[in-house]
Amino acid sequence: MESALTNYYKLKQKYDNKFQKEKDKIKDSDLTLKEKREKVKKLKMPCINCKRKVNTIFSRSPNHVTVLCGDKTNPCDLNINIQLGKYTQLSVLLDSLYQSLKYLKESIILNKLNFMFNYVDEDDTIKNFNKIKKHYDETNTQILKLESSFEKRFDILSNKEELKALEIEFYKNIKEFQSIIKQFLDEKQEIYLRDAMELYLNKIVKNQENIRKLKYSVMLVDTETDKKKEIAYLIQDKYSLTDTEIILKNPKIISNQYI
């Protein structure tokens, strides 16, 4: 795929260079300005495939690059059509997921408050909590996969001892959370449900946030505001934007017919 795209740009550059040379010849001639303009308008370059002087049409849209013979009534077999991939920055995708986590965390807090003030009964509280927790865990899993991919790609992990301690604390809190939930299911006492939500919000979620900050602080975006405009800086000095791209949709060769 990369070679097909590279070939497209090489062909286009070569064609454009030849076209520019022909234009320069006309500009440097002894013709009048009006005659030069007319001649440039009528200038026909050989098709890169059939070599007839009918031009070659190179075009690019947001989703495709194409190369076709310039003869619209009787074109040759030249047909290059490449569907471009879709990409996004890892930092942009992570920021969106972080915002989702923040919203879900707030939903857990609201669910807890509704239960404490008797706005919802115990069964609805459990259902809501499990539903929100499921979304939270799924989103967090997505984040961990992306962060792990970044870590493997660049081997940026530092402060390993501190990280290890945080992860031990995290798994310890997870076990405690599971134990409290089991007690609640066995004894049906509200205090256990409250304790479980308290532990999840104040320790487990914070554990996840602290681990993330320690491992991936390099992905932060800093913003400065002056009198006229707001300027955002991506704190990511070691890596180019290409390095941190995530492929959302792979590029695809639709046609690559060229002699």
Place of tokens 């409290």: 180
Tell me, yes or no, whether 131 lies in a domain.
Answer: yes
Per residue in 6-41, pLDDT (tens digit) is 889 899 999 999 999 999 999 999 999 999 999 999
Total domain count for the chain?
Answer: 2
Compute the distance between CA of residue 245 and CA of residue 247 in angstroms, rounded to an integer: 7
Q: Are residue 33 and residue 80 in the same domain, yes or no?
A: yes
∠ at Cα 16 (14, 21), nearest 5°? 95
Residues 108 and 63 in one domain: no
Which phi-psi region, left, alpha or beta, contains residue 44 (left: φ > 0; alpha: ψ -120 to 50)? beta
pLDDT value at residue 237: 42
For residues 76 and 14, state if they share a domain. Answer: yes
* Helices and strands of the chain, counted as H and E runs: 7, 8
Q: State the pLDDT at residue 234.
A: 42
* pLDDT band (50, 70, 90) for residue 74: very high
Please report where in the chains the tokens 């890892």 appear, as a residue.
90
pLDDT confidence band for 249 (50 / 70 / 90): confident
- Residue 56 belongs to some domain of the structure: yes
Q: State residue 246's pLDDT score.
A: 74
Range of the domain at 10: 2-84+251-257
> Residue 232 domain-assigned?
no
Q: Which of 8-22, 55-69, 93-107 shows the lowest mean pLDDT across its residues?
A: 93-107
Least trusted range by pLDDT, from 68-77, 107-116, 228-237: 228-237
Residue 189 phi, psi dihedral angles, 5° rounding: -100, 130
